[in-house]
Structure 1
């Protein structure tokens, strides 16, 4: 509905697209992830995809893992690396919800520069 809202959430809280929150006045809002410019890497087999994931992790890159694909924020240097590793890489605009990490207590969009999210109000 375009209404701005402010929230106080416990430190480390992860909000992902599709999450719903109930306000003190009883209204429910849904978090809608904003699209970002991303690269999606697909490989010929699971071994090649695991190799690509290893090299991204070795560089501490935030990665979203999907069924047969990996997504990262657009970066021309990483695109060259992925292509060199044999990945089929294409650009897309989509919500980005990377893995929080083994030692992370939460996922913070602000840490990686994306703070935009749309909130839809449900009646």
Structure 2
């Protein structure tokens, strides 16, 4: 079993031993046991509060093994608006509910939630259910709260 203890900056040119695909919620776990798609067990032992991002590199405790984190495909709702103001209003209302939100200039993305979907549709936004990597904002203080 590999114990991953060090976080290195994302670097697409670094040769890694394996890639560990994790959902957005799984990337918030700093101390957890995971199994790779090949059945290899890895244990994260990172500083509490560490949130992993797509492309991050982890180093094991022996400094021998590098693993790349990948944002796993997962169900999401992609929200688009007819105007930038409507998109900002949607971001405001989602933020008031403290749900993880991926924010871009052209869309918002959230985990599937029928209550939120209904609220957003009522506001006039278009919602598409998709299976994509989900990369929510970390928040003002650099961490992410999964509900």
TM-score by length of 1: 0.79
Higher strand share: 2
Secondary structure at 1:7's aligned position in 2?
strand
Residue of structure 1 in register with 2:15 after alignment: none
Q: Residue 81 in 1 paired to residue 96 in 2?
A: no
Higher helix share: 1
Q: Residue 11 in 1 paired to residue 56 in 2?
A: no
* Alignment of structure 1 residues 35-114 onto 2, 5 Å: 35-103=73-141, 105-107=142-144, 111-112=146-147
Residue of structure 1 in register with 2:59 after alignment: 22
Alpha-carbon shift at residue 102 of structure 1 (Å): 1.7
- What are the Cα deviations for residues 11-68 of structure 1, in whole angstroms up to 9, with x where unaligned? 1111112111122242211112222211000111111100111111122221111231
Q: Provide the C-alpha distance between the structure 1 equivalents of 2:97 and 2:63, rounded to a whole number of angstroms.
A: 45
Number of equivalenced pairs? 109
Q: Which ranges of structure 1 fall in alignment gaps of 5 or more residues?
A: 113-123
Q: Provide the C-alpha distance between the structure 2 equivalents of 1:85 and 1:107, rounded to a whole number of angstroms.
A: 26
Q: Which ranges of structure 2 fall in alignment gaps of 5 or more residues?
A: 1-17, 19-37
> More relative contact order in 1 or in 2 (CA 8 Å, sep 6+)?
1
Secondary structure at 1:67's aligned position in 2?
coil
TM-score by length of 2: 0.67
Residue of structure 2 in register with 1:119 after alignment: none
